Amino acid sequence: MAGQIRDGYFAPVINRNTTIPVSRVETFPTILPNQTQVKVKVYQGEARHTADNLLLGEFLVEGIPLGPAGQEIEVRFTSDLNGILEVEATIIATGDKATFVVTRHARDLSDQQLNHAVANMQALKLHPREDTENRNLLRRADRAVQRIRQ
C-alpha cells in the first residue's frame, strides 16, 4: 500500500560472486520527519526478505539533524580477502560516522592482525571523485563548461 512503512526488506549492496576486496556505497533516506537516528542491520544472503537471510549484526547511527524525511545516510560496505566486513554509515548533512566491523569469517586473525587489516581497508574506500587525478580532470571539465557558457 502506498505510503505504508513495511519492515523486513533489505537492499543487497555486495552481490554474490563480487570480486574481493571490494567497497560499495548505497545512500538511504530517513523515512520520518525529525528522525534523529537510524538502526543499520547487516545481513548476509540474497533473499529479499530479511527473515530469509543471516543477521550479522546491527548498529545505531545517531545525530541526524532535525528536518524533513529524506535526509541521506550513506552506508559503505567494505570487504577484504581476510573475510572482514566493515560497514560505515555517514550522515551526509554532518559528516558524522558510525562503524561496525564483522569478523565472523576472520577467526584465525589476532587482534593486531585484525586492526591492521581494517586499517588497510581504508585504501579501498577511495571514491573516484576523491582521487587527485580525477579531481583535476573534473576541474578542467568544469572550467571548459564555464567557458562554453560564457
Three cell numbers, residue 14: 555486495
**Whole-structure pTM over 0.75, yes or no?**
no
Q: What does the CA dihedral 14, 17, 21, 26 come to, rounded to 10 degrees?
A: -10
Is the pLDDT reported for residue 114 higher than 90? Answer: no
Of the pLDDT bands very low, low, confident and very high (cuts 50, 70, 90), residue 84 is confident
Torsion angles phi and psi, residue 64, rounded to 5: -70, 130
Q: Helix, strand, coil shares of the chain as percentages rounded to 5?
A: 25, 30, 40
Of the pLDDT bands very low, low, confident and very high (cuts 50, 70, 90), residue 58 is very high
pLDDT more than 70, % of the chain: 87
The residue extents of the domains of the chain are 22-149
> Which residue's C-alpha cell is 528522525?
35
Compare 128 and 119 and report the one with higher pLDDT: 119
Greatest mean pLDDT among 36-45, 103-112, 118-127? 36-45
Mean pLDDT computed over 46-58: 91
DSSP 141: H
Is the pLDDT reported for residue 41 higher than 50? Answer: yes
Beta bridge partners of 55: 43
Contact predicate 61/73, CB 8 Å: yes
Mean pLDDT over each residue of the chain, to the nearest integer: 84
Is the pLDDT reported for residue 1 higher than 50? Answer: no
Mean pLDDT computed over 136-144: 76
> What three-state secondary structure class fits 121?
helix
Mean pLDDT computed over 89-93: 93
Q: Fill in the amino acid letter for 118.
A: V
Mean pLDDT computed over 18-22: 87
CA distance 150 to 145: 9
Q: Show the DSSP H helices in the chain as ranges.
A: 111-120, 132-149
Q: What's the confidence (pLDDT) of residue 10?
A: 81
Q: Assign a CATH topology to domain 22-149.
A: Substrate Binding Domain Of DNAk; Chain A, domain 1 (2.60.34)
CA distance 19 to 2: 37
Mean pLDDT computed over 28-37: 94
CA distance 58 to 51: 15
Three cell numbers, residue 121: 581497508
Mean pLDDT computed over 45-54: 90
